Amino acid sequence: MKQRIGLDARCGRRISVGMRTYIHEVVARLPHVAPQYEYVEYTKGENLGISEQIALPFEMWRDRIALAHYMAHYVPAFAEGRFVFTIHDLIHLRFPQFFRFYIRPYYNTVVKRACLKARRIITSDRRTIADLVHFFNVDPAKIRIVPLAPRERFFDPTVPFVGERPYFLNVGNHRLHKDIPTLLRAWSSLPDEYEVDLYLTGKDDLDGELQRLSTPRRKAIALGDVSDQELASYYAGAVALVHPSMLEGFGLPFVEAMAVGCPVIATDESIPEPISDVALPFAVGDAEAAAESMRRMLDDESLRRDLVERGKSVVRTLSWERTARETANIYAEALEEK
Domain regions of the chain by residue span: 3-149+319-336, 152-315
pLDDT recorded at residue 144: 98
- Residue 109 to residue 11: CA distance in whole angstroms: 22
Q: Are both 3-149+319-336 and 152-315 of the same fold?
A: yes
Average pLDDT of the residues of the chain: 95
CA-based torsion, 81, 51, 11, 43: positive or negative: positive
Give pLDDT, residue 287. Answer: 98
Whether residue 260 has pLDDT greater than 90: yes
Per-residue confidence (pLDDT) for residue 51, from 0 to 100: 87
Helix (H) and strand (E) counts for the chain? 14, 12
Query: Do 148 and 324 contact (CB within 8 A), yes or no?
Result: no
- Best CA proximity match to 275, nearest among 316, 321, 244: 316
Report which residue type is found at 239. V
Q: Phi/psi at 170 (nearest 5 deg)?
A: -125, 130
- Cβ–Cβ under 8 Å, residues 233 and 289: no
Outline where 190-319 has alpha helix (H). 209-213, 228-237, 252-260, 287-299, 301-315
Average pLDDT over residues 188-208: 96
* Topology (CATH) of 152-315: Rossmann fold (3.40.50)
Please provide residue 90's backbone torsions phi and psi, each rounded to the nearest 5 degrees: -125, 45
In the predicted structure, residue 59 carries a pLDDT above the cut 80: yes
Does the pLDDT of residue 27 top 80, yes or no?
A: yes
The whole-model pTM stands at 0.93
What is the mean pLDDT of the segment spanning 286-300?
Answer: 98
Q: What percent of the chain clears pLDDT 70, i.e. is strictly above it?
A: 100
Instruction: With beta carbons less than 8 A apart as the criterion, state whether 115 and 133 touch.
Output: no
Residue 330 has pLDDT above 80, yes or no: yes
Q: Quick one: pLDDT band at residue 294, thresholds 50, 70, 90?
A: very high
Q: Strand 197-200 to strand 3-8: parallel, antiparallel, or no bridges (unpaired)?
A: unpaired
Is the pLDDT reported for residue 338 higher than 80? no
Residue 288 has pLDDT above 90, yes or no: yes
Q: Does domain 3-149+319-336 have CATH number 3.40.50.2000?
A: yes
pLDDT (average), residues 180-196: 97
Digit-coded pLDDT (tens) for 82-136: 999 999 999 999 999 998 888 999 999 999 999 999 999 999 999 999 999 999 9
Half-sphere exposure of 243 (CA within 13 A, CB side): 29
Ranking 11-15, 59-63, 250-254, 328-332 by mean pLDDT, the lowest is 11-15
